[in-house]
Amino acid sequence: MTEVRRRTPTGERADLKRRAIVDAAREVFLARGFEAGIDVIAERAGVSKVTIYNHFGSKSELFLGVIHDALEEALQQPTATLKKSLAETTDIREILVQTARGWVAGMARPEVLALRTLVASEAQRFPELGRAWEANGPGLTSAILAEEFRIRIDAGELEIPDIDLALIQLYSLVLYPHFTHIAYGERIDEKRTHELINRGVDMFLTYYSAKKDNSGRQKETCARS
C-alpha cells in the first residue's frame, strides 16, 4: 500500500488557525495536563479536530509545537540582548549579566515555568518532549556565547578547557534556581534574582579568568574587534 503523506496547510489563513490551535493547546495542557483531549483543544481554538490533525499529525506533535513556539517566544529577548551587548561593549561581565537577565526575563515567566514543569512530569513516558525542551531551550544562545568565549580564550582573557561544561555551569548559576523553586510552588523575587545574576557571573568569571603569570600580573588581553 502506498503511504499517503500529510500535507501541512499553508497560507495566511492556515497560519492564523495554527496560532489559535497552539495558543488553545498551551492553555488546555497547562490546565489539564497532557492527557487532555483533542476535542477540548478544538473547542477552545474554535476549529474542528480534523483541522488540528491536518496541522499536527498527533497530540504529541501538537505538544511539541507548543514547546517550540513557547520557547522561541521566550528566547527572542535573551538572544537579541546578547547580540546587542556584543555590539555595544567588550566588557565580558556586562555581556554575561545582560544575557542572564534576558534568560530570566524570558524563561522564568510563569507560563514558561509551568510548561517546563509539565514537560518534566511527562518526560519519562514521552522522552521526545524532554528532548524537544532541551533542543529549544536556552542552549539556542550557546553557539553565540561559545564563539565569544573562544575569542576571549584566544586573547588570553579566559581559560575554559570545556566550553560546553562552562555554559551548563553558567546556566546553573543564574537561571536553573528558578526552575528548582517553581517545582515547589515558589518564585524567586526580584532582589534575589538580581543577586543570583550578579554573583553568579562573578563566580563564573573568577573561576574562568586567565591565571596570572609568574610576575603576578594578569596576562595581557586584547579587545574583541
CATH topology of domain 1-57: Arc Repressor Mutant, subunit A (1.10.10)
pLDDT score of 221 more than 50: no
Q: What is the pLDDT of residues 68-111, one digit of tens each?
A: 888 777 778 788 888 888 999 999 999 999 999 988 888 778 77
pTM for the complete prediction? Answer: 0.72
The CA distance from 203 to 71, in Å, is 27
Domain boundaries, the chain: 1-57, 71-208
Instruction: Find the mean pLDDT for residues 184-208.
Output: 93
User: Which option is the CATH number for 71-208: 3.40.50.970, 1.10.10.10, 3.20.20.140, 1.10.357.10?
Assistant: 1.10.357.10
Residue 212 DSSP SS3: strand
CB 92 within 8 A of CB 157: yes
Instruction: Find the mean pLDDT for residues 131-158.
Output: 84
| CB-based burial label for 179 (10 Å; 0-12, 13-18, 19+) | middle
Contacting residues for 196 by C-beta, under 8 A, at least 6 apart: 173, 174, 177, 188
**pLDDT tier at 8, thresholds 50, 70, 90:** confident
CB 63 within 8 A of CB 25: yes
pLDDT score of 36 more than 90: no
Q: What is the DSSP letter of 2?
A: P
CA-CA distances (angstroms) from residue 217 to 90, 214, 224?
A: 21, 7, 21
CB 42 within 8 A of CB 49: yes
Encode 47-70: b = buried (16+ Cβ within 10 Å), e = exposed: beeebbbbbbeebeebbbbbbebb
Q: What's the number of CA atoms in the CB half-sphere (13 Å) around residue 20?
A: 16
Residue with cell 517550540: 68
Instruction: Please tell me the predicted confidence (pLDDT) of residue 138.
Output: 62
Q: What is the pLDDT of residues 53-70, one digit of tens each?
A: 999 988 888 988 888 888
Instruction: Find the mean pLDDT for residues 166-192.
Output: 87
